[in-house]
Amino acid sequence: MSLFNIEWAPLNVPLHRRLETLTAAIWIFWLLFGEFICVFIFCALVVKGNIYIRALLVIYCIHIYRDRKAGDTGGKGQGYRWMRESKFWVYFKNYFPVDLVKTVDLSPDRNYLFASFPHGILSTGAFANFATSASNWKELFPGIRSKLVTLNFHFQIPFFRIFPFSWGLASASSNSLKALLTASNDPKDPINRDGYTANAATVVVGGAQESLYCRPNNYQVVVKKRKGFIKMALVTGAPIVPVFSFGEVDVFDQPANPPGSLLRRYQEWFKSITGMAPIMFIGRGFFQYSFGMIPRRRRITTVIGAPLEVPHNTNPTWDEINEVHAKFIEALIDLFETHKHKYIQDAKNVKLIIE
């Protein structure tokens, strides 16, 4: 129903759909504001708390200091089961919905570097499939532990840090990736006590820069100058697996920000300082579909391609890195072109733009 140029949600929406919308709203709110809220609570307790609360905060700070390298050394296994397997994430996955598609089998006796595209606004597909147990990951890739990586500072924020750890996330630093990609595959090794014998470290290669291009049906990825993940694969000998989330760019829109515009210059400046791009995204609201901060209901299908084998070279040259990088771009384009007609409307007019 449309009124005042606003498309309103019908009144007779089933309860399960209301719950799905609620989970999507909570997720986006917590990712956007959770760290600020946790820092505010921590500071308020320092200023207003009594001596006992401050003593507990001192102990907590000591714990954070002693545990400061946990994210940088591969995180904490598969995360906390009570969090990853919560019914909350089932509602979240079904909201869009998010699907996971396997194209080839992956052996659980070796580690893999997943290179995921596109970033979108908040990498919704990658999060749902690799940071929760709501998808069919375990059935598709038994024995392989999914490890989504993110910026290291998320693991340093008081109170908030429990969330990336509980989702099984790890730092995107070179130390963390090397730890994940060289981890033992022996099922008797204590590191594999949770039943996994391999890691799939997922890097969203385009990062914050790629989010600046996010708008419906615009598949523009940033990879031409991103070669660090190629070098890491060569150094560790881990195969690179191209991953593409069709529909990721459709859940949000954003105002026009062409290169050179005032908005784009501000976004680039802010990203150069913080590593994050301040995106002015447009979603939907609870009771209307025209604007808001909640992602739109758009199907996201994450397709996992075939692994690209790379030679194991602890000191690769730039020529070797560039050679593998070119092969990876070919594999990514092939993955996109092979599957776009299944998951994109008017696919014949949609091209993958390599930035």
Question: Judging by beta carbons within 10 Å of its beta carbon (0-12, 13-18, 19+), is residue 189 exposed, middle or buried?
Answer: exposed
Distance CA 205, CA 210 (A): 9
Distance CA 162, CA 107 (A): 31
Encode burial over 170-182: b for 16+ CB neighbours within 10 A, e otherwise.
bbbeeebbbbbbe
Domains: count for the chain: 1
100 inside domain: yes
| Residue-number span of the structural domain to which 220 is assigned | 13-354
Residue 37: alpha-carbon gap to chain centroid? 21
2 inside domain: no
Q: In what order do the strands lie in the sheet with 170-171?
A: 98-102, 300-304, 240-246, 112-117, 198-204, 144-150, 170-171
Instruction: Supply the pLDDT for residue 76.
Output: 86
6 inside domain: no
Instruction: Supply the pLDDT for residue 1.
Output: 59
181 inside domain: yes
1 inside domain: no
Instruction: Supply the pLDDT for residue 134.
Output: 95
19 inside domain: yes
pLDDT along the chain (355 residues), means of 10: 72 91 96 96 95 95 93 86 94 97 95 96 96 94 95 93 95 94 78 82 92 92 96 97 97 87 85 78 87 94 97 95 97 97 92 94
pTM above 0.85, yes or no: yes
Question: What is the phi-psi region of residue 98: left when phi exceeds 0, alpha when psi lies from -120 to 50, beta otherwise?
Answer: beta
Instruction: Supply the pLDDT for residue 4.
Output: 63
164 inside domain: yes
240 inside domain: yes
Q: Following DSSP, what letter does each residue of 12-60 receive, concatenated?
A: T--HHHHHHHHHHHHHHHHHHHHHHHHHHHHHHHHHH--HHHHHHHHHH
End-to-end alpha carbon distance in the chain:
40
